[in-house]
Homo-oligomer: A and B are copies of this chain.
Amino acid sequence: MLEINQLRCFVAVAEELHFSRAAERLHMTQPPLSRQIQLLEHSIGLPLFIRSNRMVRLTPAGRNLLPEARAILRMAEQARNSALRVGLGEEGRVVIGFTAVAGYQFLPDMLLRLRKALPGIDLQLREMVTAWQLDALVQGHIDLGLLRPSSRGEGLEDLCVAKEPLMAAIPEDHPLASLRSLHLKDFHDQPMVMYSPDEARYFHDLVHQVFHAQQVYPRYDQYVGQVHSVLALVRSGFGVALVPESASRLHYEGIVYRRVGGVSPAKPVELHLVWRRDNDNPAMARVLTYFERLRRAR
């Protein structure tokens, strides 16, 4: 096989067309240089130079090899530097999972700042629901999850990054839409679109608690997994719903959003960043350092 060292020798001689000068440039003496060239020629099976004692010139095979040899040397150099930069986290990739709703409010800001602060790092995005993100984190398919709170914390770090109130999403032609101010009690016995207890455990429990605390009991007719779907059903007239404030960014035609009195301020909707404590991605480490610096600055 061609050896890197031999290629380096070859390039030097091919550029100088003079063994002695090439040897000088390589910080060695001529004889071993001659020998390396001979070995290279032998391993290819052809002469690369024509030595006419007063003149060294390339054979066609040598002329052909020269640019390739340069390319290989350049690649080797780059590979080394790139591996080093990846190791130091100056370059690399961080895969981020996010829920659809986070994609409308929190994520864009975060990405903008991250890209600015860590320009060498390639940020890859994958939309998935909270439960899938937790799986993907554990399996190492994503480095970072932007998701709703969850109890599954085996080896996972968790940071609350946003809190927002729940708001009512109401079809614009619904009687409640015309009320000046809205209170939880107004939802009593109302048909509502509810979150599914397994696909959207967090929202399910949160909405349930909010109403239960006030002894209000709406009628839960529909159970769906994502805020998107909730809004789609609200718009189709299946009832009203409680959604995080940021969902109002979705600008669903035919839906109005209202603040609701009686919702405990101690129960906001939270958005969390989650990652594996033993994640070994150095680029990820730099992202975390960046978050840490942000947190302290506040």
Contacts and interface: CB of A to CB of B under 8 A. Distances in A.
Interface residues of A, number: 40
A138 to B, nearest CB: 15
Interface string A73-89: 00111111011101110
A103 to B, nearest CB: 26
Given A3-B4, A79-B2, A87 B59 contact: yes
Interface stretch (A63-71, A226-234, A267-275): A63-71
Chief secondary structure at chain A's binding surface: helix
A243 interface: no
A92 B80 contact: no
A161 interface: no
Contacts of A8: 1
A268 to B, nearest CB: 36
A61 B87 contact: yes
A59 B279 CA distance: 10
Interface stretch (A42-50, A128-136, A175-183): A42-50
List the 8 closest A-B pairs by CB distance, nearest first.
Answer: A61-B87, A46-B87, A68-B79, A64-B86, A65-B83, A61-B83, A2-B76, A61-B86
